[in-house]
Amino acid sequence: MNQYIIETNKLSKKFGNFIAVDNINLKVPKGEIYGFLGPNGAGKSTTIRMLLGLVRPTNGNVTIFGKPMKECRLEILKKVGSMVEYPSYYGHLTAYENLDLARRILEVDQKEIDRVLEIVKLTDVKNKAVKKFSLGMKQRLGIAQALLGNPELLILDEPTNGLDPSGIHEIRDLICSLPKTQGITVFVSSHILNEIELIANHVGIMKKGKLIFQGTIDELKGKSRTEIRMDVRPAEAALKQLTTKGYTVYQKNGLLNIQDKGINPAHINRELVLNGYDVYQISSQHDTIEDIFLHLTDEKE
Amino acid sequence: MRLIKLVRNDVMKQKSGFLWLFILVIPLGTTAAMFLDMYIRYDYLFTMAQKRGLTSWEMLVNENHTMLQWGIFLPIFVAIISAMVHQVEFDRNSWKSLLSLPVTRTSVFISKFITIVLFSSILIVLNAIGLVVVGKVIGFPEPLSIEHYGSYIIHQFVGIFGVAALHNWMSSIFKNQAIPVVIGFIGVIFSSIILYQSFEIAKFSLYLYPFFAGGLQGFDSSVSIYGGIVCGAIITIIGNIEFTRRDIL
Ligand SMILES: Nc1ncnc2c1ncn2[C@@H]1O[C@H](COP(=O)(O)OP(=O)(O)O)[C@@H](O)[C@H]1O
Ligand SMILES: [Mg+2]
């Protein structure tokens, strides 16, 4: 048995010569909210389309619920709710009628429609044509459709795209409540880190088609670098001293800087003082999770 | 059965009414035109028909099929119906959410085909009913031949399979539904030019099978049955292979 709800093996997609998704190995644990991050064009939507069988991988394969997507597509999709990029709907039909179309295919009870409308708070407008809905309402309808029939896995592609802050907040709360109340695994993509940071416990970060990080939020925070800046005199000698101790030190505006993972300012201070240097000033600064994200997605071009 | 549910959904998606309006207004127009034709020219046409051994009812079908050009234009109507059946999926790119549901692509593709044939059949039946009404109102002397009219409907019904299959496939490809409709229009014009050159070549044009369904003298109406079934099956099979392999973006 497989403890991962979604697992991909060397999943790749080429459009002509352009590699949109490059050899990615996703591992999405059960019952968690997995944030799929990356700047626009990183290959998130293409990956999600492959997870749903909408796009054929050029290489590699997708396993969901421990079953191969290629062979067990129908069986898998029965237990997957999804919304890919912008919500799709039939504008001249009402919210209820839209959900009824999907409900019939999913072969679930009509009561399900009222249940999901209640969850996304669209009960009052269920008989209104969807083309008259605001973007936020359409987005919620898309999520409602994804929730039909109590799926075990929810795949949402940028569900807060184009929403105002209050709309973003609402959807975020909704997504957060799902694993707790219904035991659903949620795979949600976004190009905005702080949206994901607040809800996800696992993250995967995409950049130019590659999965450059995958792990828990805490592991991501562990990537945080500390920068220590100090005013030490004499500076030249102190620089030499620290360098021989194995630190990477550089001098800037007369101050010494050390930028590294897991360095401790107290150790460095003691080191300097015990060796007879005068430390006039020492400060340390940690990367925020935002910095880590930018650092990961920006580094090397 | 899942296919029936899909067809029901495809019909539901036409709730906006344009398609329904279309398949009601067109037969209303043909009925009105045929009524005028019979009202003004019945005596003349009946004399001509008698010379060729035709009844009033048979003459009425001929007028509908060739004078009004129903047999020539029917494929264009099928193309327009196909465009409307597919348009709803392109409007908000609903293909991706439809195909993310637990359905096989084949069943989705076949369902669209059945829906197109279904709406086209309503059009065909209403046109024929219109003819019966005209005959009754004018007061044709002969009794109505149910057999003849039934055969007229069946031949058209099977005759459109090829057009429905081709347009089902084309409409699933183009986001802009004007393209397949224009292709259909050009196909019809081209085919009707060939029709007056050579029947031997014309019988290979799927746009003409509804025309051959007219049971007209000099044309073998069984061509519409064989042609419709063969083209409908082959094109649906090939189209479906492409449709199931296609990336939905
Ligand atoms: N059909 C296509 N043909 C060519 N390139 C494509 C196609 N679809 C997407 N791409 C390219 O693949 C890359 C990844 O796109 P996408 O998966 O939509 O990224 P994201 O969702 O992370 O913004 C982009 O550079 C995009 O231009
Ligand atoms: Mg995207």
| Global ipTM | 0.90
Whether A102 and B12 have beta carbons less than 8 Å apart is answered as no
Give me the residues paired with residue A282 across strands.
A230
Q: Cβ separation of B96 and A49 shorter than 8 Å?
A: yes
Are B206 and B166 in contact by the 8 Å Cβ rule? The answer is yes
For residue A48, the CA-to-ligand 1 centroid distance in Å is 11
Any atom of ligand 1 within 6 Å of the Cβ of A18: yes
Nearest to B5 among A77, A105, A142 (CB): A105
pLDDT of residue A299: 61
pLDDT of residue A169: 86
Coil, strand or helix: which one is B45?
helix
Residue A2, pLDDT above cutoff 80: no
Q: What are residue A4's DSSP bridge partners?
A: A29
| DSSP at B142 | S
- Angle CA(B132)–CA(B63)–CA(B146) in degrees, nearest 5? 30
Residue nearest to atom 26 of ligand 1 (CA): A41
Atom of ligand 1 at shortest distance to CA of A209? 14
User: Any CB–CB contact under 8 A between B175 and chain A?
Assistant: no
Q: Please judge whether B92 and A89 are an interchain contact, meaning their C-beta atoms are less than 8 angstroms apart.
A: yes
Residue B154: phi and psi, rounded to 5, are -60, -45
CB of A228 within 6 A of ligand 1: the answer is no
Question: Contact B101/A106, CB-based, under 8 Å?
Answer: yes
Predicted structure pTM score: 0.90
Write down the pLDDT at residue A300: 52
Q: Are B216 and B223 in contact (CB under 8 A)?
A: no
Neighbours of ion ligand 2 (CB under 5 A): A 44-45
Instruction: Give the pLDDT score at A301.
Output: 45
Please state whether beta strands A80-83 and A153-157 pair in parallel, antiparallel, or not at all (unpaired): parallel
**What average pLDDT is seen over chain B?**
95
Could you tell me the CA-to-CA distances from B31 to A32, B49, B63, B137, B144 in Å, in that order?
A: 64, 20, 12, 11, 17
Angle of CA points A51, A145, A112, to nearest 5°: 125
Using alpha carbons, select from B185, B84, B71 the residue that is nearest to residue B127: B71
Whole-number Å distance, alpha carbon A187 to ligand 2 midpoint, is 14
pLDDT > 90 in chain A, percent: 56
Q: Which of A131-145, A146-160, A162-176, B88-102 is predicted with the least confidence, judged by mean pLDDT?
A: A162-176
Per the CB < 8 A criterion, the answer to whether B163 and B170 are in contact is: no
Confidence of residue A1 (pLDDT cuts 50, 70, 90): very low
- Residue B25 reports pLDDT greater than 90: yes
CB pairs below 8 Å between A and B: how many?
82
Sheet of A202-207, strands arranged across? A80-83, A153-157, A185-190, A33-37, A202-207, A210-216
Query: Which residues does A249 contact at the CB level (< 8 Å), separation at least 6?
Result: A239, A242, A243, A256, A257, A258
Closest-CA distance of chain A to residue B52, Å: 52
Q: CB neighbours (10 Å) of residue B62?
A: 20
Q: What is the pLDDT of residues B40-61, one digit of tens each?
A: 999 999 999 999 999 999 999 9
d(CA B135, CA A135): 55
**Count of other CB atoms within 10 angstroms of residue B144:** 15
Lowest mean pLDDT: which of A15-24, A164-173, A187-196, B182-191?
Answer: A164-173
Give yes or no for residue A224 having a pLDDT over 90.
no
**Beta-carbon separation of A90 and B94 below 8 A:** yes
Instruction: Decide if pLDDT at A85 tops 70.
Output: yes
Burial of residue B16, with CB atoms counted within 10 A of its CB: 0-12 exposed, 13-18 middle, 19 or more buried? middle
Looking at the CA of residue A48, tell me the nearest atom of ligand 1: 17
Q: Do B16 and A92 touch (CB under 8 A)?
A: yes
pLDDT at A82 over 80: yes
Nearest residue, CB atoms, A54 vs list B8, B100, B102: B100
Q: Which residues of B touch A82 (CB under 8 A)?
A: 97, 100
DSSP alpha helices (H): ranges in A34-164? 44-51, 69-77, 95-106, 111-119, 135-147
Whether B165 and B113 have beta carbons less than 8 Å apart is answered as yes
Read off the tokens for A261: 């993972």
Does residue A68 sit in helix, strand or coil? strand
**For residue A88, which residues of chain B lie inside 8 Å, CB to CB?**
92-98
Residue B194: count other Cβ atoms within 10 Å of its Cβ.
17
Kindly state the average pLDDT of the residues A112-136: 94
Distance from CA of A88 to the nearest CA of B (A): 5
DSSP strand pairing (A210-216 vs A202-207): antiparallel
Task: Give chain A's contact residues with B (Cβ, < 8 Å).
Answer: 49, 52-56, 74-75, 77-78, 80, 82-93, 97, 100-102, 104-106, 142, 145
Nearest to B96 among A54, A90, A93 (CB): A54
For B216-232, what is the mean pLDDT?
89
Q: Number of C-alpha atoms within 13 angstroms, CB side, residue B235?
A: 19
